[in-house]
A and B are shown apart, each in its own frame.
Chain A
Amino acid sequence: MSLLSVDHLSIGYQTKKGLLRAVDNISFDLEQGQSLGFVGESGCGKTTIGMALMGLLPENAVILNGHIRFQGEDLISLTETQWQAVRGAKIAMIFQAAMNALNPVMPVGEQIKEAIITHQPDISKTHLADRMTELFDLVDIPARRMKDYPHEYSGGMKQRAVIAMALACDPALIIADEPTTALDVIVQDQILREIKQVQETTRTGLVFISHDIAVVASVCEQICVMYAGQIVETGTRKEVFKSPRHPYTRTLLNSYLSLDNLNDIRVPDMKESPDQMVETNECRFANSCPACSSACSGRFPDWIDVSATHKVFCCNPDMIRRGRGKS
């Protein structure tokens, strides 16, 4: 049994103009101790997936169909009270803005204690103190800083404190949503190592969400590339980043500046993102796709198997299997 199994999940947002399909028919599995990265650009629905896994979808969100099974239990049918026993204890989240994720008027240590006591009200004082030392040790914050307030922490330390808080109850699944976006490269590097190391030592499942493909590549073994609410390519990090098949994945990789790919940089011609208000029968990337041809029009993409783990959502199976196409 998978730790997490998401099956044909669609999530919409009620807006003044109608229903916006933010997440469209998404399926994936995550085993214990595995890490899965969602990568895509603003508005592709990656944060919505994270929020759905935490039961924190905003009020105007509607789960249109599908299932989220966590340790065999369907999370979608949980009531708010039932969610409280899961959230924080079994599934925890490392939030995007560490700066805002901490309570500014409460010492950092107290906030983490609060997280533990909420889920383990009977914990003894010594156990609690031990656990706190252990947690601060795990994320490399000196224990004497427990009494300090968030404003006395640097950006990187705040993010570590947020990681410690997520780990507080020893969750089986951690969701990290852009955990390093606000940090500079040196601190980012430390935090990513921290997350990886903690994930490997605790054998926690990790869902890692980021717009930064290199960051996802450095943390996760399994990758899902998202575009306009859909997963367009999935596979191991080697498959997806070394031999990308979907034209969108190629576009993303070709426009990403890193120190080792400067010669492959191509400036994409991205058109307006597709209208997610309508349920479409056509490929959503068609408008911006460099490989789109007349054969694509009017067709809905299919899942094409490149290998047992590598799958691509496209209308053009020949191009995908060939592994070459203009992009």
Chain B
Amino acid sequence: MEKAESKNRFLVEMRQVTKAYASRKKLFSRSSQQVLALNSIDLGIEHGEIFGLVGQSGSGKTTTGRLLVKLESPTAGEIFFDQTPISQLKGSRLKAYRSRVQMIFQDPYQSLNPHLSIAETVMEPLIVQKAGTPDTRMEKVIHTLETVGLLPGKAFFNRYPHQLSGGQRQRVAIARAIVLEPQFIVADEPTSMLDATIAIQLFKLLGQIKETFGMTLLFITHNLAAARYMCDRIAVIHDGHIVEVNTADNIIRHPEHPYTKKLIKVQPGFKYTR
């Protein structure tokens, strides 16, 4: 899997990926109906880019993220990471994959274990992946906490999530995601629970981290303005279909699909104050 130079421009590629969930109409009925969360989508994320996936609730954007980090498996189709089909990863190779791909979840109030101190939270991936020695791990954790702007890192060691603000918690979640220096991070609505002044600081941080570590990022959001601010390219997803992919600027300036146009129209702005 280690390839210094890839012929393919895509780090992550989804080919004809479909994800169906069974839904039961009635509580006890046997017949089940299928809900297609993703309907045969094709998507390529280039090395080193921030790729935005924009859509409304239920469009399949979170499902896409979960498939990519292999929290779930597609019903049909294949996902390639660095040209390797990830459905075939098992055992140690799957574990290695998990260290190269990380996720930042939406809700920092739920994604952190309340019983673990900040040091334990950020150190856990290192222990699971048997990276480093206890001493170097400690160093690494301090360094990572400071990278995400929790200064001084040591001061946060023995704190617990409930002692932190929402923004600080999300920084811890980011620290946990980057501590293994993954190649690819899926950020699923990382700021939708946070205030604007906090969100913008986290966006800046994610951008810096991407630059420093040369990571590739999938940024999932319902906020087109945030996606435009953060991303190189944006895909708009609607009802399990990718309806449009383009550079961030073009998708806002020259939207082609009616759904994209609709999304742009409903974006809150200050048109009433003009």
The B interface, classified by DSSP as helix, strand, loop or mixed, is helix
B252's partner among A42, A251, A259, A270 (CB-CB below 8 A) is: A259
A17 within 8 A of B: no
B200 and A268 form a contact (CB under 8 A): yes
Chain B residues near A218: list those with CB within 8 A: 268-269, 271-272
Contact B196 A256 (CB under 8 A): yes
CB distance from B222 to the nearest CB of A (A): 5
Docked Cα-Cα span, A187 to B200, in Å, equals 24
**Contact A184:B200 (CB < 8 A) given known A211-B195, A214-B270:** no
Q: Are B225 and A262 in contact (CB under 8 A)?
A: yes
A288 to chain B, nearest CB (A): 9
- Cα A259 to Cα B224 in complex, Å, equals 8
The reply to whether A237 and B273 contact each other, CB–CB distance below 8 Å, is: yes
The answer to whether A257 has its CB under 8 Å from any CB of chain B is: yes
Complex CA–CA separation, A256 to B197 (angstroms): 7
The answer for the CA separation of A192 and B272 in the assembled complex, in Å, is 13
Chain B, 234-274, contact with A by CB distance < 8 Å: what is the 0/1 string? 00000000000000000010000000001111111111111
Is A238 an interface residue, CB under 8 A from the partner? Answer: yes
Question: Is the C-beta of A258 less than 8 angstroms from some C-beta in chain B?
Answer: yes
Contact of B197 among A185, A212, A270 (CB under 8 A): A270
User: Would you call B201 and A267 a contact (CB within 8 A)?
Assistant: yes
Number of interface residues of A (CB under 8 A): 36
Judged by a CB distance under 8 angstroms, whether A161 is at the interface is no
B266 contacts which chain A residues (CB < 8 A)? 185-186, 188-189
CB distance from B257 to the nearest CB of A (A): 14
**Chain B residues near A255 (CB-CB < 8 A):** 196-197, 199-201
The answer to whether B198 has its CB under 8 Å from any CB of chain A is yes
C-alpha gap A214/B271 in the complex (Å):
9
Task: List chain A residues, Cβ under 8 A from B198.
Answer: 41, 270
B117 on the interface (CB 8 Å rule)?
no
Q: Which residues of B contact A (CB under 8 A)?
A: 56-57, 166, 195-201, 203-204, 222-226, 228-229, 252, 262-274
Smallest CB-CB A-B distances: 10 pairs: A214-B268, A189-B266, A184-B56, A41-B195, A255-B200, A257-B225, A241-B273, A184-B57, A258-B269, A255-B197
Chain A residues in the interface with B (C-beta under 8 A): 41-42, 155, 183-189, 192, 211-215, 217-218, 237-238, 241-242, 251-252, 255-262, 265, 267-268, 270
List 15 other contacts, CB 8 Å, given A237-B272, A258-B270.
Answer: A41-B197, A42-B166, A42-B195, A185-B56, A186-B266, A189-B266, A217-B270, A217-B273, A218-B268, A218-B269, A237-B273, A242-B274, A255-B200, A261-B270, A268-B197
Please, could you name 5 A-B residue pairs with CB atoms under 8 Å apart, sorted by A?
Answer: A186-B263, A192-B268, A217-B268, A238-B273, A256-B196
